[in-house]
């Protein structure tokens, strides 16, 4: 069923489709960032596809790739009962220029999903009516789900207290966030053998 959808996209957006695959039964099409919104609009309005629901929209960060971010949308048609995953890629290796068109005027669910993607990865959705942080607080710096954001970094909203005669008052210091045993991906990829991992 979804195989036909892939063919349909290929037929209508021949130049924009970068690759397609069907891993574990999930049909996927990767499209050019410039065609992102047009493909989405086509999937919604086309009678065969009729994707009336944008189930999920998220981002995966691949710091060693260029373009760096992969924007992943899961579409679902309630009337036809089929699903399709559409992805696009954007952003340079520094994470800048990560921009893609917003889908907010096609599906209302895109509003919060894109806000979350912006908050967590710093991907900018052009044309979004209200692009501000949603899960993190406005004063937060950086984008926590990027691979190069250290997981044990803390950004307290209230300054460290300096209390005389008391050894320690939490939060203690920037380095004293929670730390877990296993390495993060960014460390294992970016740090070569000779560099020090602190």
What is the Cβ-side half-sphere exposure of residue 130, based on CA atoms within 13 angstroms?
9
> Is 56 an interacting residue with respect to another protein (CB under 8 A)?
yes
C-alpha distances out from residue 16 to 20, 54, 79, Å: 11, 21, 27
Q: Which is nearer to another protein, 20 or 184 (CB)?
A: 184
Residue 193 DSSP code: T
- Counting residues that bind another protein (by CB under 8 A) gives 39
Considering the complex, state which of residue 23 and residue 166 has its C-beta at the smaller distance from another protein. Answer: 23
- Of 136, 10, 121, which Cα lies nearest the Cα of 59? 121
- Shortest CA distance to 95 belongs to which of 71, 119, 66? 66
Q: Site residues for another protein, window 94-113 (CB under 8 A)? A: 107-109, 111-113
Q: Which stretch binds another protein (CB under 8 A): 7-15, 47-55, 90-98, 162-170?
A: 47-55
Which stretches within the chain are classed as H helix?
Answer: 2-12, 36-45, 110-121, 185-190
> Least Å distance between CB 97 and another protein?
21
145 touches another protein by CB under 8 A: yes
Q: Applying CB under 8 A, which residues contact another protein?
A: 23-24, 26, 28, 52-56, 58, 60-61, 72, 74, 78, 81, 83, 85, 107-109, 111-113, 116, 120, 133-137, 144-145, 149, 151, 180, 182, 184-185
């Amino acid at each position: 069923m979804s195989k036909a959808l892939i063919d349909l996209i290929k037929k209508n957006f021949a130049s924009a489709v970068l690759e397609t695959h069907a891993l574990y039964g999930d049909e996927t099409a990767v499209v050019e960032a410039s065609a992102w919104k047009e493909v989405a609009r086509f999937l919604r309005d086309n009678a065969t596809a009729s994707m009336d629901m944008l189930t999920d929209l998220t981002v995966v960060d691949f710091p060693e790739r260029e373009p760096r971010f992969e924007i992943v949308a899961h579409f679902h048609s309630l009337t036809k009962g089929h699903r399709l995953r559409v992805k696009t890629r954007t952003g340079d290796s520094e994470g800048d220029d990560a921009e893609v068109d917003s889908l907010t005027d096609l599906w209302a669910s895109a509003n919060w999903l894109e806000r979350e993607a912006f908050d967590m990865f710093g991907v900018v959705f052009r044309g979004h009516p209200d692009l501000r942080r949603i899960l993190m607080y406005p004063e937060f710096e950086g984008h926590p789900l990027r691979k190069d954001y250290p997981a044990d970094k803390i950004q307290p909203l209230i300054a460290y207290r300096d209390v005389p005669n008391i050894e320690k008052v939490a939060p203690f210091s920037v380095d004293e966030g929670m730390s877990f045993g296993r390495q993060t991906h960014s460390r294992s990829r970016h740090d070569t053998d000779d560099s020090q991992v602190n």
